[in-house]
Amino acid sequence: MMKAGRRGLLPALFFLLLIFCLLPSAQAASPENSSPDFPSLEITRAEAVRSDWNAQTPPESGWVPVELVDFWTARWPRHDGVVWYRLHWQQKEAGGSVGLLVNYVCMASAIYVNGSLIARNEKLVEPLSRAWIRPQYFLLSAPLLKAGENTLLVRVSGLSTYQPGFGTVVVGDPAEVHAQYERGVFNRIHIKLINVAISAVLGSIFLLLWLLRRQDSVYGWFALTELASSFYNYNFLASSPWPFSSTDAWQAFNTVAYMAAATTYAIFMLRFGERRMPRLEKLMGLLCLMTLLVAIMAPQFMGVQRNYWYLTGSVFYYASIGWFLLLAWRVPRADYRVLAVCLLIQVLVSFHDLALFLGLVRSDTYVLALTSVFTLIGIAFALAWRFVGAMRKVESFNAELQREVDSATQQLSATLAREHELALANSRAGERLQLTRDLHDGFGGTLVGAIARLELAPEDVPKAQMVGLLKEMRDDLRLVIDSTTREGVDLPHMLAPLRSRTGKLLEAVEIDSYWHLADIDGLELDSMRSLDLLRFLQEALTNVFKHSRAGRVDVHVLRHGDELQVRVHDDGVGLPAELASADGAGFGSMRMRAQRLHGKLEVGTPARGTELLLVFPVNS
């Protein structure tokens, strides 16, 4: 996570540095023709007079002395319009160039040197240009200057609500003055631009982290804080109130951004401290939403009354930091205390900016932006600390999980071994049961038939007849062996030996057997299904031989679609219903084989004889 953040941040900072190197300055000029005999002079006293919006020249009377930096609301509390400032400086001769630095003008201005216009903002009436934060540097050439007293006249347009006024002026050696200008641009513009870029990049990175990991709400609140802060800090960089139609509307938007930043920052502090205060969080959210609604519905009112909303946001800001400082004091965690030290530095510096915003101190520079690096260090350390802690937990969890997996694997292996032994035992039992049933249905039937034939034969049985009976028993045993060792068996060929043996058996008791085969050429069943079918037929015909006293039996084997139908019908005396449903070895074995074939066995008692019908799917 931290590597991804650094990869995203470094290219952005490199890009910003490249912009700074190429950043043009419309009013700045390279210092040339320095005047070493004219050292730099900071002018801190001036004269001021107020006038209306449309005044093109200052009034002749009404000038009052002022000390710079001057905010005219202390003198003219409700004055919205124009104030003219007049400054003088002396120089011995008019030769050479002189550097001129105007440190602060709020909001827009037109600047004259010895009656000549040298600079003018685009909008001197509402909506005013916003030139208040950027210092202005001019290289005054000899034609503009004169020996003795020189006069700087500045027309300042402003609104009483937004600290209108004028700052100090520096004139003198162009190299020295230009160096001061560069320092001012860096402190007021470049630092703000860096802050906006850092806030936007960090906000975007942590917003993506939160979207990928919603349960870490601290990332989401920090992202919202940084994004809202980037919007608020843009106030220091914007040169016009666009896209709003007035300064009041712009300040209403800026107030909403500040309230959003303060609210999300307070909730971020709570989340970072692993705390939740639902009622307080809802109250802050409602106040933030109210700020937005008022800004939309009454932007003029919001802009004029912005100080109340700024004070509310400041309460959120300082209260959350104060709470976190107490938490860091009570909880001995390195990430808490490092971030607390960085925040403490930021809070102490912010008192200066708050006092400047409220007009309690005289200055033309907000310095809180200079402490952003401390906040960045604190947040980076805290998040890195948490990341390392999370990695340690993950490693510990992985080690514990590996131990659990090893233990579960051993238990599973033992369980599988026991189940394998049980499966083998069940398989052996099943094989024994299957062998018992096969011997009963097949070999047992043949043996019964042989005994019956011997009983009916005369006492002196010929040797050839005895050999024939033994061969039949051998063939039946061979059927069991063949059907269990061959995978693919052609059904008509499998039925042929059974037809021959049962035919001879039935002929011995004067029962004619007729076989009817239809649509089974080429039909192959696996060995177990074939054996089940043969044993079913063998048992059915054995029952005909033993119980039916019939003169004819018909065996029908036909394929109907995906089903095989097997019908055995004799014209004997029939079977009582209770015998057909009894659990005797014969009928019980036939029902078991029907189940194994996934089929259905029906026992019918027509007007004469008995009928067995077995229907099962060919492919199952």
pLDDT of residue 426: 77
CA distance 91 to 38: 7
Q: Who contacts 521 (Cβ-Cβ below 8 Å, separation ≥6)?
A: 492
Q: Does any domain span residue 466? A: no
Q: Does any domain span residue 455? A: no
Neighbours of 154 (CB within 10 A): 23
The answer to whether residue 380 scores a pLDDT higher than 90 is: no
Contact between 326 and 275 (Cβ < 8 Å): no
Residue 36 binned pLDDT confidence (cut-offs 50, 70, 90): very low
Highest-confidence segment of 2-16, 60-74, 335-349: 60-74
Whether 283 and 375 share a structural domain: yes
Neighbours of 112 (CB within 10 A): 20
Whether 20 and 168 share a structural domain: yes
Residue 443 binned pLDDT confidence (cut-offs 50, 70, 90): low
Domain holding 503: CATH number? 3.30.565.10
Residue 98 binned pLDDT confidence (cut-offs 50, 70, 90): very high
**Residue where a domain terminates, one of 367, 388, 409:** 388
The answer to whether residue 562 scores a pLDDT higher than 50 is: yes
Whether 181 and 267 share a structural domain: no
Name the residue with higher pLDDT: 46 or 477: 46
Neighbours of 403 (CB within 10 A): 10
Q: Does any domain span residue 477? A: no
Whether 336 and 209 share a structural domain: yes
The pLDDT of 157-161, averaged and rounded, is 92
**CA 582 from centroid of its chain's CA atoms:** 67
Q: Does any domain span residue 156? A: yes
The pLDDT of 600-605, averaged and rounded, is 85
pLDDT of residue 369: 62
Q: For 475-521, how does the pLDDT look when each residue is reduced to its tens digit (9 = 90+)?
A: 566 566 655 555 555 788 878 888 887 888 888 888 899 999 988 88
Q: For 107-127, how does the pLDDT look when each residue is reduced to its tens digit (9 = 90+)?
A: 899 999 999 999 999 999 999
Q: Does any domain span residue 434? A: no
User: In the numeric block, which tokens belong to residue 233?
Assistant: 């800090």
Whether 359 and 237 share a structural domain: yes
The pLDDT of 342-359, averaged and rounded, is 73
Going 27 to 32 to 33 to 36, the CA torsion angle's sign is positive
The answer to whether residue 21 scores a pLDDT higher than 50 is: no
Q: For 235-278, how does the pLDDT look when each residue is reduced to its tens digit (9 = 90+)?
A: 888 989 988 989 999 999 999 999 999 999 999 999 988 888 99
**Residue where a domain terminates, one of 332, 363, 388:** 388
pLDDT of residue 15: 38
Whether 96 and 152 share a structural domain: yes
User: In the numeric block, which tokens belong to residue 143?
Assistant: 């034609």
Q: Does any domain span residue 417? A: no
Whether 374 and 499 share a structural domain: no
Average pLDDT, the chain: 81
SS3 content of the chain, % helix, strand, coil (to 5): 60, 20, 25
Going 309 to 313 to 314 to 319, the CA torsion angle's sign is positive
Q: Edge-to-edge strand order for the sheet containing 610-617? A: 512-518, 552-560, 563-570, 610-617, 600-604
Residue 3 binned pLDDT confidence (cut-offs 50, 70, 90): very low
CA distance 434 to 158: 107
Neighbours of 230 (CB within 10 A): 21
Q: For 268-325, how does the pLDDT look when each residue is reduced to its tens digit (9 = 90+)?
A: 999 988 888 999 999 999 999 999 999 999 988 888 888 888 889 989 988 998 899 8
What pTM does this model have? 0.57
**Residue where a domain terminates, one of 388, 422, 450:** 388
Boundaries of domain holding 250 = 198-388
How many domains does the chain divide into?
3
Of 67-81, 169-183, 479-493, 555-569, the poorest mean pLDDT is in 479-493
Task: Report the C-alpha dihedral over residues 313, 316, 319, 324, rounded to 10 degrees.
Answer: -130
Name the β-bridge partners of 171: 41, 100
Q: How far apart are the first and last CA of the chain?
A: 56
The answer to whether residue 34 scores a pLDDT higher than 60 is: no
CA distance 536 to 441: 8
Query: How large a percentage of the chain has pLDDT more than 90?
Result: 30
Residue 590 binned pLDDT confidence (cut-offs 50, 70, 90): confident
What own/partner pairs with CB < 8 Å and gap ≥ 24 does 112-117 have? 112/152, 112/153, 112/154, 112/155, 113/138, 113/140, 113/144, 113/145, 113/150, 113/151, 113/152, 113/153, 114/144, 114/145, 114/146, 114/150, 114/151, 115/151, 115/153, 116/144
The pLDDT of 11-39, averaged and rounded, is 43
Whether 259 and 287 share a structural domain: yes
Q: Does any domain span residue 453? A: no
pLDDT of residue 285: 93
In a 10 Å sphere around its CB, with 0-12 CB exposed, 13-18 middle and 19+ buried, how is residue 349 labelled?
Answer: middle
Give the residue from 105, 156, 165, 167 showing the smallest Cα distance to 132.
105
pLDDT of residue 262: 93
Domain holding 163: CATH number? 2.60.120.260
pLDDT of residue 13: 40
Name the β-bridge partners of 556: 516, 567
Whether 204 and 350 share a structural domain: yes
Region class of 28: left (phi > 0), else alpha (psi between -120 and 50), else beta: beta
pLDDT of residue 180: 93
Whether 370 and 497 share a structural domain: no
Give the residue from 220, 223, 340, 209 showing the smallest Cα distance to 273.
340
CA distance 531 to 476: 12
Name the residue with higher pLDDT: 123 or 586: 123
pLDDT of residue 22: 39
Give the residue from 536, 551, 534 showing the smallest Cα distance to 603.
536
Residue 228 binned pLDDT confidence (cut-offs 50, 70, 90): very high
The answer to whether residue 587 scores a pLDDT higher than 80 is: no
CA distance 511 to 573: 13
pLDDT of residue 31: 47
Whether 504 and 560 share a structural domain: yes
pLDDT of residue 432: 62
Q: Does any domain span residue 445? A: no
pLDDT of residue 351: 73
Contact between 114 and 151 (Cβ < 8 Å): yes
pLDDT of residue 44: 93
pLDDT of residue 32: 45
The answer to whether residue 580 scores a pLDDT higher than 60 is: no
Whether 252 and 370 share a structural domain: yes
